[in-house]
Amino acid sequence: MKITKAELVAVAVKKEQYPPVDIPEIAFAGRSNVGKSSLFNMLVNRRNFARVSGNPGKTRTINFFEVNQTFRIVDLPGYGYAKVSKSMSKDWGPMMENYLENRENLVKVVQLVDIRHAPSAQDVQMYEYLRYHGLDGFVVATKSDKVSRNELNKNLNLIKKTLKMKPGDIIVPVSSLKKTGADQLLDEIEKLLQAKAMEENSEDAGEEPVSEE
């Protein structure tokens, strides 16, 4: 997959502000300052497509980006930043839960973790939450340029073990600085979208035709 067009189509804090459920959505979640904005900029090859903030926890809305007019990337608020956890996270929690548990066209959630460290307790909690709702199985390990080649595989295995990922689950190392991993990530997203389309087509084909009298 190659992204040829991407635009912000909605900024929401409640369901009424969401765009229509007419195309599938892939959501991205991760700890504050894990590199989500930089990743989006790399994927669309635009420097300031998603603002990169020096203040972790600044994203306080759910942002919907329409890609190639065929699907949306959904940017969820970062979690786990101490300075905002007490005052803001109590609002973010219900906002995110409402989206994740009730959005009909949500296909999968890509969880971002920092490859340099074992997933935090909050990372594990998020992954378990996604597993409970059938949205798990796709992890991006950011900042892969910060570890050596020998460390990379060891750290990827640690992430898989800590999150209790299944053998068939996806983990993609990326580096926004070196611009590596974008093609693999987009290919995996394309596979998810194709699988979803096939599932919907199969369901449509299995419907009983309506008889006309």
Q: Residue 208 has what pLDDT?
A: 52
- What pLDDT does residue 33 have? 84
Q: How confident is the model at residue 23 (pLDDT cuts 50, 70, 90)?
A: very high
Residue 113 CB burial class (10 angstroms; 0-12, 13-18, ≥19):
buried
Question: What percent of the chain stands above pLDDT 70?
Answer: 85
Structural tokens at position 131: 């597993």
181, 175 in Cβ contact below 8 A? yes
Query: Is the per-residue pLDDT at 160 higher than 90?
Result: yes
Q: How far apart are CA 42 and CA 175, in angstroms?
A: 9
pLDDT category at 148 given cuts 50, 70, 90 is very high
> Where are the alpha helices (H) located in 26-85, listed in sequence order?
36-44, 82-85
**Rg, C-alpha atoms of the chain:** 18
Q: Hunting for tokens 């920092």 — which residue is that?
A: 114
**Helix %, strand %, coil % of the chain (to 5):** 40, 20, 40
H helices present in 59-166, as ranges: 82-85, 89-102, 121-132, 149-163
Q: Kindly report the average pLDDT of the chain as a whole number.
A: 85
Residue 22 has pLDDT above 90, yes or no: yes
Domains along the sequence of the chain with CATH: 6-187 (3.40.50.300)
